[in-house]
Amino acid sequence: MNIKKTIIFFLICILIAMPAYADVIWPSLYITQGMLSLKVIILGLIAELFFVKYFAKLNWKKASIITILMNLITTILGIILIPLSGLGAEFVFDFVFHAYDKFGIGTFHWSHWLVSYLLVIIINTIIEGLFIKLTLKQKFKQTFWWLFTANGISVLFCFIFYIINLGK
């Protein structure tokens, strides 16, 4: 392996492990770790495969390839973008709206979780929408809502497994 590939591989390994070893925690770090769960990945791919096949009007083989590739890119970018989006949401909640001072709403209030999950859905939808636009030459406007729904279902699996594992 050349040095460039080794460095990239090393950085990816660090980014994947980052949420598990963070000293400061906010909901998006939990979500990032949950989205990398094998159960969530498999269920999410299956759910999105049906959307890609039906709405992009592809055969099963091409829909499978597109679904896997777009989710691979989303995963790589999401490892960085999801925690950053959650940190941005925390900044808005705490420093712009002074949510804790005015309303007693802290980092793990349900509203922070809701915003964090919505940001994950939006980030995934934008990345995958751009991928569909570039590979299948479909307009972003045409793909946005069905991708948003598919990603909502995928992220819902993450949320369900988080709730199931909450007491463990």
Calculate the average pLDDT of the chain.
84
Helix, strand, coil in percent for the chain, rounding step 5: 85, 0, 15
For residues 120 and 35, which has the higher predicted lDDT (pLDDT)?
120
For residue 73, pLDDT over 90 is answered with: yes
For residue 167, pLDDT over 70 is answered with: no
For residue 113, pLDDT over 60 is answered with: yes
- Average pLDDT (153-164) is 89
For residue 49, pLDDT over 90 is answered with: yes
pLDDT at 168: 64
Q: Provide the residue ranges of all domains of the chain, joining segments of one domain with +.
A: 3-165
Q: State CA 48 to chain mean position distance.
A: 13
Confidence of residue 130 (pLDDT cuts 50, 70, 90): very high
Handedness of CA 86, 148, 139, 72 (dihedral sign): positive
